[in-house]
Structure formats: structure tokens, C-alpha cells
Chains A and B, each alone.
Chain A
Amino acid sequence: MKKTLTIFTVLGVLLFMGCGDGEKKNTDPYEKSTPTEQTKVVSSVPASQRVDLTNKGIGPIKNVELGETIDMEMAAKGEEVYKMNCTACHKVDKKFIGPAPKGILERRTPEWVMNMILNPDVMTKDDPLAHDLLLEFNGSPMANQQMSEEQARQMLEYFRTL
């Protein structure tokens, strides 16, 4: 009797697992909006002042090579892009709605910065540092301004000049 019960239990569990592993999982939009459990990073240092020069963030940018010297032409383009798309929330050298870009590369990797520009929804959800930044800045979301990788790279170069 006990044996049958065990068999049925195992069978039942397997069946349910079978369901869960279905293709649907990836396409179910409700999956996305379910709040995920955040790993608590206990740190007394505010996220904006933490230094992490290894974390590349989450997004399309895996590796960025910065030139020895700043490409001023690229930086000028970056400044234009920044002025057009970012100044509603960011001031160059002081905290506004979001943090200032000045000195950002002393605290973050170039990849992290570009991923934050290009993939803010996922970053603020799944990157622990970006998530803490969202909390520190009162939950103001980093808006996705649909920048191209080229534009994000130009802005990165501009940030080097600040």
C-alpha cells in the first residue's frame, strides 16, 4: 500500500514537473511581471558610491575597449545624444532625478554603463547594483530611450571627458 502511494506521489510530481517544463514558460508574460526575490546585498555604502570595476552588468555589451586617448569627435557626438535624451533626468555633475555621469568610470565598468543605458529594465531588476540604485533614487526608473549601441558608445566616450 505504502509502495503504491509512493509510486503515485512520484508519478504526480513528475507530471507536474512535466507541465512546468513546457515551452509555455518562456512565453507566459505573467512570468515576467511576477516580483522576483531579490538577493539582499547588505551594504552600508549607498549604491551610487559603491565601486565595482568587475561587474559588466546584464545586456548586449560584453566587452568594450577604451582607447588610450579620448576620441573627441566621438565624445562630441555623445554629448549631443546625451543632451537630447538624458538631461530630463541627469545633470552632468550633480545628482538630479538620477545620478551624475561625471566620474562614473571610476566606479563602473564601461560595459556596465552601456548596459544600463541599453537595457535598463532588466538591469534594475536583475543586476544587484542597478537594483540598489533604483531604490536609492526613490524608485525613479531609468527610462529606456531606445538608444543604439553606437549612441551608447558615443555617450560613454563623452562621459570620459567629464
Chain B
Amino acid sequence: MKKSINILFFLAIAAGLVSCNNGNDQRGTKGQGGLASNAAERVYVAPGEHDEYYAFMSGGFSGQLSVYGLPSGRMLKVLPVFSQNPENGYGYTEETKPMLNTSYGFVPWDDSHHPDISQTNGELDGRWIFINGNNTPRIARIGLQNFKTEEIIEIPNSAGNHSSSFITENTEYVVAGTRFSVPIPQKDMPINEYKGNFKGSLTFISVDQETGRMGIKFQLIMPGFNYDLSHPGRDKSHGWFFFTTYNTEEAHSLLEVNASQNDKDFIAAINWKVIEEYVNNGGGKMVPANYAHNVLDEHTHTATSTMLKEVLTVNPMDVPGAVYFLPTPKSPHGCDVDPSGEYIIGNGKLSADLTVHSFTKMLDAIENKKFDGEAYGIPILKFEDILAGVVKQPGLGPLHTEFDGKGNAYTTFFISSEVVKWKVGTWEVLDRQPVFYSVGHGMIPGGNSRKPFGKYFVALNKITKDRYLPTGPELTQSAQLFDISGDKMELLLDFPTIGEPHYAAAIPAELIAKNSRKIFKLAENKHPYAALNDSETKVVRDGNEVHIYMNMIRSHFSPDNIEGVKVGDKVYFHITNLEQDFDVPHGFAVIGANNAEMLIVPGATETLVWEPKQVGVWPFYCTDFCSALHQEMQGYVRVSPADSNIELSWSLGED
């Protein structure tokens, strides 16, 4: 008996020691020392502790942008960008509907692909993140103080906005290239007259460094190829931008065969500084266009949409020295530039090898005019002259390459379903790891910058199959986290993602978390329908429009009894959240609303339209559990017949 007690105490002491060690473990040193092989330990973020990185993953065909913590793989938030979001009313409220306006009218969905974080001097600065809408060409800017979509600009003369949105190293430009070439300007013409008549636009959108506001500086009107992906030059190649092309055959049908004929397609090298100078000196041609520019005002909490009517186009032939073609084998997809700016990697989807171009050799060939013919007047450089090296037969179906800042590159292979690590400069393969399954993009935090944070690699996989519990025929998407701090890549974690995560961008949490806003100040609220205190609450009729100036605080609406509304009225609930404390949003929902609920964060005003169709007394309530009396946070609207004489009245807490 005594012996067993003794053993128990030994165990207790041992447990005490172990728990002490765990408690003293510092986040930054996790995965070091004796526990280095413990994958669980390395992705474990203890309750209440924070992840080391924010990872922004494209929401793919959900149209949104999802935010994950790394290394835990925990989803923190889905940020609505191009699609309506009933969870908070984005795209449903009067304030946010203009954000989704386009020249095609209200477009409440898109296919989001490639997020890119703003940079200063080639390093991530955490001010904004940009992402493209692929289907109805748009670029969005999300402010990382509020984690809100603050601006969306439509791209005219574009179709399938795929080689987007990538930024230059001081966020001078966000660049958007078209995947489809189309008639520019659009017109009614036979499809089979594509060749020579369709054009591809590459759009350079300038970014105001103070406000982040975007404006199209110029559109380069290129030959009718398909512009697949792009990346900026950096450091020594800053001032250049590189786009992969496919379908240099200019096929318009059965592209899987007809666009795979040429032995080599091109990477288009664009010297945007030269074009910028040309444009600044009055160059280019202003042409009619029609595209939406939507901007959220932080003080009115309201977005406005402006239709812009012209855009400046540039013919590459008019700007000598602006555009060159770098021959690149077999339908290159990814177009990636290493942190030094010297190497431009073209991943020929249908090629067995990776092609690495040298920026220095490219400049040399240009200077010595060593051209190998031209395409539509654009000089083609000689493949052999600009080649830095070839990574020989590393795998099948190369797509994208990322860099760790330590001289290594990581290329994803879709067909052979693996990630291959190779050495920049010697082109030797150092390691390969299988992924599950069929990886598209890969992502290293800061991978598209001069200073990558080479600790993790995230594989964004296209096929999920059996990786999680089955959920019928439709599955979630899948990402995988690798530790790349050692010689060999180590798989640490699988985690599910939304939509189809194309590209992603990640940044050390410390660069963003410290700037994150907690509340909007009521004193700065300039919403025209805000009721900033109780004396400003009212209900106003304007024809059949009824405007309710309402506010809310734990745990009531003011007013909460409204009479005099009639069938056929269009009722605007303008609601201000008077709370000034962190994490006290309130929600609002009213019976039969044909849109959504809305979530109103402290200090903000939002508006939901309700068109009552039936006589009666109808309830509304707070949807976000806000306090012990949340369930009491409710009210009524009396709806009378259309011909009723009942006057508008409103009250709170009176009989």
C-alpha cells in the first residue's frame, strides 16, 4: 500500500515537472531541442496564445479572403471582398452594396485568386492587402487596420483578370493582367477572327501612399496572348514586371490542344518605369471606357461607387525599350522572381524542366540588341542568351516557385503532387516531399519580397480526396504546412480551407496586430443617418420611404416600438452602435427581410432595407449575443394597411 502511495507521489512530482517545462516553453523556440521531431508540438498554440503569422488565403470561388493563423492552421476570419456575406451584411447593407457595383451592374460574386501584401523597400509593411476578382475583372484593397474591404476598382478591357494582383516593391503599382484576350474596345465580331485582332491588356494601377486609393495609371495593350501570372522585379530588377504567357498560338477553341503547339511561349518583360515616364510626359492614348471605382469612407462608414469613363492606353510599339519577350518552354504558368531580383523562373506546365532566366543577361542581350525575331513588333530575346540555368527534370507539371531567403527555391508540381526544394544558382534538387494532393500555389511568408521569412511553407492543394472525414461529394479544400527551417522539409499539419485557395500571402503577426483597430470612435462618425445619442433618434417619412434613425447599446434598441409604417413602404433601419468598448458588436435582424442580417461594430452605423408586405406587428432583434440581457434586446414594428391614417410614432420604455 505504502509503496503504491510512494509511486503515486513520484508520478505527481514527475507531472509537476513536465507541466512546468511546458509552461516555460517560449513560443519562438518551439520545435527546438529534444522535441524537434514532434510535429504536434510545433503547430500547437496554447489556449489564449497567438499564432506567429497571419496567413491570408484566397477564398477562390467563394470570392472572399480567409485569414488563418500559422503555425496552428486555425481560421481566424473570412473577410468578405467580392461576394455578399450574410454573416455581417456585407453587400446587403445600403453602405456596402456600392462596393459590388460594376459596369455590369451589381455583381455579388467573384473568383478571388492572388492576394499580395503591400511593401516598402521590398519588405512587407502590413498596410494593405490586395486581391483580384478573376471573373468580372476587379482589384480590391483591404485595409489591415480594420480588416475590411476598403476599395474595389474594376479593370476595363480585361477578361479573366488572372495575372493579378501583384505589387511593386514600394507599392507604387498594383498590376492586373488579362488571361483572355478580347476585342479592345469590345465589339460584335466573329470569334474565328481572333488572331491578330484580339488584344491583351496589362493594367498598372497606381496606389496613393497615404490613403491607399487606387487609380489606373495606364493599360498596356499587348498582342492577343493569354497572360497567365506575373511578378514584379525587385531590388536590381525593380522597375520591371514579368508576365507569363500561353496561347501564343492565338487559338480560340480547344485550347488544351491548340494552345499547346508551340515549343516555347514567352515571359513578357515590361519596363514599367520607362512607360511611366512616357505617360508622365503626355504619352499614351486616352480612350473611352466604363468602369466602376468603389471606395469606402471610414467616417461615414459608407461606400460610394463612381463610374469612370476613360482610360489611358499605351501601345508598346510607341515606347521603345519598354517590352521584350523571353522565350520560355511550353505554356509557362508561374512567373516568380527570387529575392535578389536576378532570377526569373518560368514554370512550363508542359515542360519537364524549370527555366531560370537571368536579369543581368537579359539586360545585356537588350543592350547588344541580340534579338531572335519579333512578335507583333515586340523584340524576342534569344533563349540561350538569357538563360541562367535549368533545373533538370525535377517533377511533372511545375506551377509555382517560392523562396526562403536562404538561397533555396521551392517549386510546386501539380501532376507529380510534390514540392521540390532546389538551390538557386546551382539548380540542384535538394529535397522533395509529396503533398496530398496536387498542389497549386505554394506560399512562404514574405515569399514575394526581398525578405522572405523562411520558416514555413504552405502547400495550397487542389484535390482533397480522403484527407478529412468525408462530407459527401463536395469537399472542403486543403492546405498543408511544412517546416522548412532545416535541410529537409517536414510535413507538420493538414488544415481545411475555403473556396479554392489559389495563392496566399503571410506576414509576421507583430507587423499587423499592433495596428488593429478595436472600435470606431462615435465622435468621428459622420454617417448622415447616425443617431449618435438618444436625442437624435427619430423616424421620418419621405413618400413611401421611412427612415428610422435608431441606435443600440447593451441591451436595447432605441426606439424599440415603431408605429405608422404601412404595407408598401420601404423602411430603412439606420442603426448606430453606441458601444465604445472592444468586442461589443450588435446584430440586427427583422422578420421577412429579403436580404440578410447586419452586424454593427462599436461606433459604426449600418442600414438595412425592409419592405414589409403584410399587415401586423413584426419583431426585430439583436443577432449577436451581446450581454446577459441579449435575449431581451428586441422590438416591434407595427405595419398598417397601405391606406391607414396612423401617424408615425416611436418610443422606448414608455407606455
Contact = CB atoms under 8 A, between A and B. Distances in A.
B650 to A, nearest CB: 15
Contacts of A16: 16
Interface in A19-63: 19, 22, 24, 28-30
A85 B533 contact: yes
Nearest to A9: B9
Contacts, number: 87
B471 interface: no
Interface of A: 1, 4-5, 8-9, 11-12, 15-16, 18-19, 22, 24, 28-30, 83-85, 87-89, 96-97, 138-141, 143-146
Given A22-B24, A85-B533, A88-B553, A143 B580 contact: yes
Contacts of B48: 28-30
A145 B628 contact: no
B533 A88 contact: yes
Interface in B500-521: 519, 521
Given A22-B23, A88-B553, A145-B580, A8 B13 contact: yes
Closest 9 A-B residue pairs measured CB to CB? A15-B16, A139-B628, A87-B534, A144-B581, A29-B48, A88-B553, A145-B580, A146-B580, A8-B9
B551 A19 contact: no
B6 A4 contact: yes
Given A97-B556, A146-B581, A85 B627 contact: no
A106 B324 CA distance: 84
A50 to B, nearest CB: 22
A29 B47 CA distance: 9
B579 interface: yes
Contacts of A15: 13, 16-17, 20
Given A22-B23, A83-B533, A143-B554, 18 more contacts: A8-B13, A11-B13, A12-B9, A12-B16, A15-B13, A18-B20, A19-B19, A19-B23, A22-B24, A83-B535, A88-B556, A89-B553, A96-B653, A139-B629, A141-B628, A143-B580, A145-B579, A146-B581
Contacts of A146: 519, 521, 580-581
A143 B20 contact: no
Nearest to A25: B23
Contacts of A12: 9, 12-13, 16
Contacts of B580: 85, 143-146
Nearest to A8: B9
B584 to A, nearest CB: 7
Contacts of B533: 83-85, 87-88
B10 interface: yes
B5 interface: yes
Nearest to B576: A88
B532 interface: yes
Nearest to A30: B48
B579 A143 contact: yes
B555 interface: yes
B627 A141 contact: yes
A139 B627 contact: yes
A15 to B, nearest CB: 4
Nearest to A97: B556
A88 B534 contact: yes
Given A5-B6, A12-B12, A96-B653, A143 B532 contact: no
B401 interface: no
Contacts of B459: none
B244 to A, nearest CB: 47
Most-contacted residue by chain A among B2, B532, B553, B555 (CB, 10 A):
B553
Nearest to A29: B48
Contact of A8 (B10, B17, B555, B584): B10
A1 B556 CA distance: 67
Contacts of B553: 88-89, 143
16 contacts: A5-B2, A5-B5, A15-B16, A15-B17, A16-B16, A19-B19, A29-B48, A30-B48, A84-B533, A88-B558, A139-B627, A140-B554, A143-B554, A143-B579, A143-B581, A146-B521
Contacts of A5: 2, 5-6, 9
Contacts of A85: 522, 533, 578, 580
B9 A140 contact: no
Contact of A87 (B9, B521, B535): B535
Contacts of B20: 15, 18-19, 22
Interface in B569-596: 578-581, 584
A140 B579 CA distance: 13
Interface string B114-149: 000000000000000000000000000000000000
A142 to B, nearest CB: 9
A2 to B, nearest CB: 8
A10 to B, nearest CB: 10
A119 B629 CA distance: 21
Nearest to B47: A30
Nearest to B581: A144
A90 to B, nearest CB: 10
Interface in B1-29: 2, 5-6, 9-10, 12-13, 16-17, 19-20, 23-24
Contacts of B556: 88, 97
Interface in B271-301: none
Contacts of A29: 48
Contacts of B579: 143, 145
Contacts of A138: 628-629
Contacts of B581: 143-146
B521 to A, nearest CB: 8
